[in-house]
Amino acid sequence: MRLPIVIFICAFALAACEGPDTELDPHELKRAQHGFTALSAEAGLLAEQLASHGVPSRFASVHQQALGEESLKLSRQLAKPVPPGLRTAHDKLASLNARFQIEVARIAQASSNTSDLERLRESFRDMKAQAAALETPA
């Protein structure tokens, strides 16, 4: 008698799990968009603080790595099949996130060059604005 109950519970648990073929839904895309705008703002603030010598370069290196890891998490969130209605916003956000990963890796290198840091800060501000302007259904 217990075996059917165990099988039912296991089947129910498996059905509740999201598989890799589960489509990205509008709420997930909206959360990813908000997460990306926050990451971009944080990276811009880090570049600004470095330029004004408000943080040590060692801290910048650690913070840069943490931002890169958060960006990779975002990439994994976006790595789902995308329904046609979300494709444009998804592709733009994924593209911005790839650009972010490249730019955030340059922060610590630029720590002694104010003009490079200003360029990075502007780049992060631009990415944040582009992500905020995406039309994503919620």
- Kindly report, residue by residue over 95-120, the tens digit of the pLDDT: 999 999 999 999 989 988 999 999 99
Confidence (pTM): 0.82
Average pLDDT of the chain, as a whole number? 87
Q: What DSSP string runs through the chain?
A: -HHHHHHHHHHHHHHHSPPTTPPP-HHHHHHHHHHHHHHHHHHHHHHHHHHTT-S-HHHHHHHHHHHHHHHHHHHHHH-S---GGGHHHHHHHHHHHHHHHHHHTTTTGGGG-HHHHHHHHHHHHHHHHHHHT-----
The pLDDT of residue 10 is above 60: no
- Kindly report, residue by residue over 30-80, the tens digit of the pLDDT: 999 999 999 999 999 999 999 998 888 888 899 999 999 999 999 999 999
| Domain residue ranges of the chain, discontinuous segments joined by + | 29-131
